[in-house]
Amino acid sequence: MSVDIASSRSVGGTIVTPPRRRWRVPTALAWAAVAPFAAWAVARVGGLERDSLTTQLMTATPYAAAGSLVPVVFGLLARNRAATAVALVTTAALGFSVLPRAVGSAEAAGSGAPLRVLSLNMLFGHAETDAVMDLVKRLKPDVLSTQELTPGMVEKLDASGIGEILPHRVLQDEWSAGGSGLYSRYPMTPLENLFQAIGHNMPAAVITVPGVKPIEFVDVHPYPPLGNQVHDWTAAIEAFPPAASDRIRILAGDFNASLDHVVMRRFLDQGYADAADRAGKGLVPTWPAGRSIPPIITIDHVVVDERVGVNEVSVHTVPGTDHRAVFADLRLPF
């Protein structure tokens, strides 16, 4: 028997394992991911939206804030400190702009006289009357603020018995999107010349609530910021009266604006607060409802004097209209 001497010998030497290559994102791709979100953050923080397109895009800021986490990952994978740093600052800026709306504030709850407010854009009077009345009976609002209120819708609400629940009214209904109207459980007096209404009808009234000073209430509905209407929309919000030390004002309706619009933020800075923001419901979308896509932006608001407490806010879908109703349970200072 022969033996292969060569094969019986041990093999010498060292086995070298080639280094494992770590996959990394190209630096250019990381910066391409960071740049649009950084620009968005600068525009949001600086209030730089000007034309119709940028104004409409600004309503999507909550989604941009969530998406801004992606460039952070890209920066880390690219192992580029500068891109990662810019991405982190961007995420922080957008996050601080948006997240407080989901948290609420210490001023949300409070003692005082209750006032329950319900606001609804009725889409040219097409909101289902039974659904509206069911909401009124269930939530028991003291004030109902309506937009796109038509004479036909007024007749339907009357036939359904709204006058028995909310007997007082200040209406400026029209056969168009311009109609608006206030219904109240408490006595109301029309309030003229409080401000220049630019856009749709925006009736105002003084409401006498037992135990507190009279309340000034405004039904809000400026034009949407589409095309050249963006200038009228801006002028309408800028025309709203600032808060006053000797009275309480509440404004409720379809502002066609989100809390990410600089004109809306400047208005709130004049002594107001968004009720949903205070209650931690500020990111609940209100439009468009009743379509193939769910509501995506928040443009319907109940805005209150900073001295008003907010006990609860809820948002409700009403068949027949593309806006969701906003309900706020408020506490008025004595």
Strand partners, 144: 118, 183
Clarify whether residues 197 and 319 are in a common domain: yes
| Cα angle: 273, vertex 297, 140; to 5 degrees | 60
DSSP 8-state class, residue 159: H
Clarify whether residues 76 and 116 are in a common domain: no
pLDDT at position 290? 84
**Tokens, residue 37:** 């979100």
Residues 263-269, mean pLDDT to the nearest whole number:
98
Clarify whether residues 281 and 306 are in a common domain: yes
pLDDT at position 17? 59
pLDDT band at 14 (very low <50, low <70, confident <90, very high): low
Distance CA 79, CA 271 (A): 46
Q: Where a domain ends, among 66, 98, 130?
A: 98
**Is the per-residue pLDDT at 110 higher than 90?**
no
How far the first Cα of the chain sits from its last, in Å, is: 113
Clarify whether residues 141 and 205 are in a common domain: yes
Clarify whether residues 121 and 269 are in a common domain: yes
DSSP 8-state class, residue 297: B
Clarify whether residues 187 and 245 are in a common domain: yes
Clarify whether residues 204 and 163 are in a common domain: yes
**Tokens, residue 26:** 């190209």
**Is the per-residue pLDDT at 10 higher than 80?**
no
- Range scoring the smallest mean pLDDT among 16-25, 95-104, 222-231, 284-293: 16-25
Q: How many domains does the chain have?
A: 2
- Beta-strand relationship, 204-207 and 248-254: unpaired
Q: Which of 165, 212, 182 is nearest to 309 (CA)?
A: 212
Domain membership of residue 54 (yes or no) is yes
Clarify whether residues 186 and 224 are in a common domain: yes
Q: Where a domain ends, among 98, 130, 150?
A: 98
**Tokens, residue 55:** 């104004």
Amino acid (1-letter code) at residue 332: L
Clarify whether residues 90 and 117 are in a common domain: no
Clarify whether residues 90 and 118 are in a common domain: no
Residues 315-322, mean pLDDT to the nearest whole number:
98
pLDDT band at 16 (very low <50, low <70, confident <90, very high): low
Domain membership of residue 9 (yes or no) is no
**Is the per-residue pLDDT at 22 higher than 60?**
yes
**Is the per-residue pLDDT at 11 higher than 80?**
no
- Beta-strand relationship, 309-316 and 325-332: antiparallel
User: How many CA within 13 A on the CB side of residue 50?
Assistant: 2
Distance CA 269, CA 191 (A): 24
Please name the residue that has the structure tokens 């404004």: 251
Q: What is the pLDDT of residues 199-238, one digit of tens each?
A: 999 999 999 999 999 999 999 999 999 999 999 999 999 9
Residues 81-104, mean pLDDT to the nearest whole number:
97
pLDDT at position 178? 97
Domain membership of residue 75 (yes or no) is yes
- Report the share of the chain in percent with pLDDT over 90: 88
Q: Which domain holds residue 76?
A: 27-98
Q: What is the pLDDT of residues 280-293, one digit of tens each?
A: 999 999 999 988 88
**Is the per-residue pLDDT at 13 higher than 70?**
no
Mean pLDDT, the chain, rounded, equals 93
